[in-house]
Structure 1
Amino acid sequence: MSWLTPWTSFFKRLVHVIAKPMKRDRGHGGMMVHPYRGYGSSDEVFVMGRVFRQAALGRAIPRRGILRDTADVTRRIFRRGLANAQVDIRIGKNELTLATDRDGYFDAHLPITHSLPIDVSWHRADIHVRAEGQSPVRTDVEVYIPPPETDLLVISDIDDTVMFTGVAEKLKMLYRLFVRKPHRRTAFPGVASLYQALHRGETEKAERPILYVSRGPWAIYEMLEAFFQLNRIPVGPILFLREWGISLRHPWPRKAEAHKRMLIDRMLTLFDELPCILIGDSGQHDPEVYTEIVKAYPGRIKAIYIRRVDKDPKREQAIQRLHDELADTDCELVLAPDSILIAEHAHANGDISARGLEAVIRDVKEHREEERREARGC
């Protein structure tokens, strides 16, 4: 049954990627610290992460192979956050101490009272964690602070904007990611070159901050990091919206839209001198949330790019009404069927280079040609 071979490979590779973060403890278990990439300005930085306890591996489990990966996935499912762990964070000479919440998460807001070097964008935050009955843990994480000459902030949704999230498309994406060449068609066509162009700017020398938000759970953070790297999408802090842990106290995931608005408000306040571009999709509440933001921050939002993910006439009419609402502002809402239209508008606005536009057009055309070859059975 040769048709099973690629799916067996798919399953093994998927399990291995999901299990990979567990291998840091070499099977010993105990307290673990997983910080998420941070972001900030010359005045303050934000660093998030989780402290949790995980079980040790039994001696009978081999060091590698599908059995070890399956055991690590099981350990990952059943790991539990450590509440009230003490977290000490230091970046340069700036320090902060705080405690984890009842799910083991910490969300540090660290004022910068001692200046950091301005000739680098990525800074190291050292983290020291202590908890009763556990051995102390030291780790570090990168924190992105834009250079002084930065001229634009980009905030992008992830789900159905950068990557497919429908059930059928997600299965296709995972198959392509773990069976076929990983850089091919695991994101929307032209996304990598579009975000690279936005990151580099019209001069192609800029290092603009790109901040990503998602309605997904923190548990898939490592998967998304791998996805971004494999697809050559400019790396940035990935800011998830909510913890999906189900409990008797919170039987349902926390509402996404309000939390997304809160995160974007935080970013616009943090980078209060930068104009901003917002990127989302037509399938959820992005157009409505982004329109509210334009009204709340007059003159700050240069453009809203909405990727069209369906052809529902009623939805398109609703988005057109939002477009009309913004007619008297400095911001235009663009409903785009593909990355090319977004890139053309951004180039016309002076936000990406001609070379960046050409790269997006080339990548989308190559994708379409590949689809035609596949349809012909080549």
Structure 2
Amino acid sequence: MKRGLRRLLKVAVRPMKSERAHGGRVIHSYRGYGSRTEVFLIGRVFRQPGLNLPTRQDSLMSDLVDLVRRSIRWGIHDVEVEIRVNDTRCVVTTDRYGYFHANIELDEPLPADRVWHQADFRLLTGSGDPGSRRARATAGATASTDIYVPPPDVDRVVISDIDDTVMHTGVANKLTMFYRLFFEKAERRTAFPGVASFYQGLHEGADGQRQRPMLYVSRGPWSIYEVLETFFQINRIPVGPVLFLREWGLTLQHPMPQKAEDHKQTLIEKMLSLYEDMPFVLIGDSGQHDPEVYAQIVRDHPGRISNIYIRDVSRDGRRSDAIRELADEVSRSDCTLTLAEDSATLAEHAHQHGLVSKSCVEQTRAEGEQQRRRHPED
């Protein structure tokens, strides 16, 4: 129990470690994505107290202090952030929660000899009050992040849901998720059997050389970004460029998360526009509205979605029948929709359609069987 708590604490305060010295205003950036001529970046500017307490670095007390600092930080609205990607510069303004979103058309294409590039950030305004802005850089308020750009010969984009598709439900419930991630061999119990091998196969392709973009979307809040990254690393799931979460908008006046029913559809449509020459593979589950959302995407963008994979988690015959009707519908647009309870069945279908190798199918099946033997209760 003590080891689990300490491990949880380490991950929970990880973003604070590099920000301990600055105090005050902080730019927290997330990994970006894009093409050689256009990139997208997301980040947040927030204020956190210094709490200059005399604690030994990397001690339990210092972690607890950092956790308090993270818990009481707040986003700063209406401040300007300068972003540089190579020789291209732009300035964006934070929203009411301190977040900024940048869609940058580059002056010069990014080099084609690598997939990871860098963006640099600098805070320009000195106050969150628009009436007292000072157009100067704030000392220490800088950051950088990586940007993923697919290689020139990539053939597909994969977008996957997270909740009940990659991992058991719990992303939207922080306490449940923390428990599953850090206690009782959680790294083996949270991911569905075979997910790691199947997703690695999709990322690499049948020839092992594709390096396809793996984009993940969740209804969870941005505040669990680092925890999700740790989950992906623990379970050997290719994290791809980014995780797409959302701002819950929690306030004293509105203590419940804001609804964002079009969050996933908006993301997919943005990706279809960015990677306009590539077909897409969409992965979701039967528990919510993934099949309906994906079928609507096929209707709106005929010919762009090649395969849809749905993990059957509903255990409801009527739900399964409704999804099979959607499968018949999308098949008329040269798209296949596959419904299955296990990753091995999905991988077998993907192999038949040239998306993954035969070894991926074998590894997915072996991984699933091994995981089920270890945890038959799952």
TM-score (norm 2): 0.90
- Name 1:19's counterpart in structure 2: 13
- Name 1:260's counterpart in structure 2: 264
1:315-352 Cα offsets, whole Å, 9 max, x none, are 22221221222232211111110100110010000000
The answer to whether structure 1 residue 162 and structure 2 residue 166 are counterparts is: yes
1:102-153 Cα offsets, whole Å, 9 max, x none, are 2111100000220111010111111122331643422211111111111011
Describe how 1:90-169 pairs up with structure 2 within 5 A: 90-132=84-126, 134-166=138-170
* Structure 2 residue matching 1:53: 3-state secondary structure: strand
Mapped contact 1:307–1:336 kept (Cα < 8 A)? yes
Residue 240 of structure 1, CA deviation: 3.0
Q: 1:333 aligns with which of 331, 337, 361?
A: 337
- Name 2:246's counterpart in structure 1: 242
* Structure 1 residue matching 2:108: 3-state secondary structure: coil
Residue 27 of structure 1, CA deviation: 5.6
Mapped contact 1:45–1:109 kept (Cα < 8 A)? yes
Name the CA distance, whole Å, in 2 between partners of 1:298 and 1:168: 32
Describe how 1:282-297 pairs up with structure 2 within 5 A: 282-297=286-301
* Structure 2 residue matching 1:216: 3-state secondary structure: strand
Mapped contact 1:241–1:256 kept (Cα < 8 A)? no
Q: 2:82 aligns with which of 84, 88, 92?
A: 88
Residue 91 of structure 1, CA deviation: 1.3
Deviates more, 1:320-329 or 1:190-199: 320-329
- Name 2:352's counterpart in structure 1: 348
Name the CA distance, whole Å, in 2 between partners of 1:176 and 1:259: 25
Name the CA distance, whole Å, in 2 between partners of 1:299 and 1:180: 45
Q: Which amino acid in structure 1 is aligned with residue 312 of structure 2? A: R
1:4-55 Cα offsets, whole Å, 9 max, x none, are xxx2332232122212221222365211111111100122110000011111
Q: 1:273 aligns with which of 268, 277, 280?
A: 277
- Name 2:195's counterpart in structure 1: 191
Q: Which amino acid in structure 1 is aligned with residue 295 of structure 2? A: T
Name the CA distance, whole Å, in 1 between partners of 2:174 and 2:54: 35
Q: 1:322 to 1:248 in 2, by over 3 A?
A: same
TM-score (norm 1): 0.90
Mapped contact 2:163–2:171 kept (Cα < 8 A)? no
Describe how 1:302-317 pairs up with structure 2 within 5 A: 302-317=306-321
Name the CA distance, whole Å, in 2 between partners of 1:242 and 1:140: 21
**Pairs aligned (count):** 368
Q: Which amino acid in structure 2 is aligned with residue 67 of structure 1? A: M
Q: Which amino acid in structure 2 is aligned with residue 149 of structure 1? A: D
- RMSD between superposed Cα atoms in Å: 2.4
Residue 301 of structure 1, CA deviation: 0.7
Mapped contact 1:88–1:129 kept (Cα < 8 A)? yes
Name the CA distance, whole Å, in 2 between partners of 1:343 and 1:359: 10
Deviates more, 1:342-351 or 1:121-130: 121-130
Mapped contact 1:211–1:237 kept (Cα < 8 A)? yes
- Name 1:73's counterpart in structure 2: 67
Mapped contact 2:40–2:102 kept (Cα < 8 A)? yes
Name the CA distance, whole Å, in 2 between partners of 1:62 and 1:218: 29
Name the CA distance, whole Å, in 1 between partners of 2:354 and 2:73: 48
Name the CA distance, whole Å, in 2 between partners of 1:248 and 1:181: 36
Name the CA distance, whole Å, in 2 between partners of 1:63 and 1:371: 38
Residue 370 of structure 1, CA deviation: 1.9
Mapped contact 2:22–2:140 kept (Cα < 8 A)? no
- Name 1:4's counterpart in structure 2: none
Q: Which runs of 5 or more structure 1 residues have no equivalent in the other structure?
A: 1-6
- Name 1:369's counterpart in structure 2: 373
